[in-house]
Amino acid sequence: MDVDEPVCLPRLSRIAVCGGTHGNELPGVYLVRDVLKLQRRASEGEEDDGEEHTSMLTVLSNPRAVQQCRRYTDTDLNRCFTLATLNGPTSDSPPYEVLRAQELNTMLGPKGGPGAVDLVCDLHSTTANMGLCFIAYSDCDWICLHIFKHLQRRMPDTPMRFIHLGISGKESYSLDSVGKHGFAMEIGPQPHGGVRSDIYAVMSAGVRHMLDWVGLFNSGAVFEGGWVDVFTLVKNIDYPRDSKTHNITAAIHSHLQVCPCRNVRIQISSLEVDKLTSSPQTQATIFFKLHFF
């Protein structure tokens, strides 16, 4: 197969930008408040030719946790989006976040169904010194990979990485898995409960450039293929703990900078919007090369 031949994908008509999935991660909370400015941006790149325009939803995912400035009130919302939790029977008094996940699935999904939004961008902040990270399940979602490449070009001074979780669609559990395409945008270091202007500026620029890319894609631009370095999760490492109390008995050493990740380079095909049909289309089989570092 000629990897220079563009892959055609349906336009991204409906996009969701979500903040406050964790209620104490404030940059995303403040960013989704700026609704009108972001919406204006999304439709700027498009011609006024009578065709459908992009609609953008901004969502405050966990309003109760935001109000209390807590990560969650009963259970972590960002673990409630498995198909089992979304579609399964609820108990007599289900956790708040389970009900909220089901509401969000109705609003943005249903997950796996044809009516789901085309793209979910879920905004997070972290206390870790991670810079800007895309976190995605798939290493072959060309939309997410191309958006990432676009941000890298537009924000060369921002340390930026793509983390691939390596979990199958069936096991996916987070909000971004509800859309047809989706990723989490995670930025740090940012203490919980506060907002740093430098972190906010990076998140705001990242979302703005993402929306620019969507506008360009929907207008028919062709995006060249190429190589993308991604980090694949190998293992989660817990703190050393006391066997009886389970309390932490050691802290991260001051010399440690990053968690162990395997770095993988992926070749992505060039991409353009499929203008011929608006119905979902299966992707052509793509050959890609993996180079391990």
> What is the identity of the amino acid at 293?
F
CA 290, chain centre distance (Å): 23
Q: Which of 115, 141, 176, 151 is nearest to 288 (CA)?
A: 141
Q: State the Cα–Cα distance between residues 99 and 284, nearest whole angstrom.
A: 37
Residue 186 annotated as catalytic:
yes
Site for another protein in 135-154 (CB under 8 A): none
Alpha helices in 123-196 (DSSP H): 142-154
For residue 189, state whether it binds another protein (rule: CB under 8 A): yes
User: Which of 13, 40, 46 lies closest to 179 in space, CA to CA?
Assistant: 13
Cis bond upstream, residue 189 (ω within 30): yes
Candidate list 93, 236, 243, 247; residue touching another protein; CB under 8 A = 247
**What track of x and - describes contact with another protein for positions 68 through 87 (by CB under 8 A)?**
-xx-----------------
* Residue environment code for 185-212, b if the CB has 16+ CB neighbours within 10 A, otherwise e: bbbbebeeeebbeebbebbbebbbbbbb
Radius of gyration for the alpha carbons in the chain, expressed in angstroms and rounded:
19
Known binder of ligand: residue 124?
Answer: yes
If binding is defined by CB under 8 A, does position 99 make contact with another protein? no
The reply, when asked if residue 181 is annotated as ligand binding, is: no
Given 154, 196, 208, 262, the residue binding another protein (CB under 8 A)? 196
251 binds another protein (CB under 8 A): yes
When asked if residue 238 is in the footprint of another protein (CB under 8 A), the reply is no
User: Is residue 224 close enough to count as binding another protein by CB under 8 A?
Assistant: no
User: Which of 1, 252, 258, 290 lies at the binding interface for another protein (CB under 8 A)?
Assistant: 252
Check binding of 169 to another protein (CB under 8 A).
Answer: no
Q: Which is nearer to another protein, 222 or 248 (CB)?
A: 248
* Phi and psi, residue 85, nearest 5°: -70, -40
For residues 62 and 218, which CB has a smaller minimum distance to another protein in the complex?
A: 62
What positions carry a catalytic annotation? Answer: 186
Q: Which residues would be at the binding site for another protein (CB under 8 A)?
A: 30, 33-34, 37, 69-70, 127, 129, 131, 158-159, 189, 191-202, 204, 247-248, 251-254
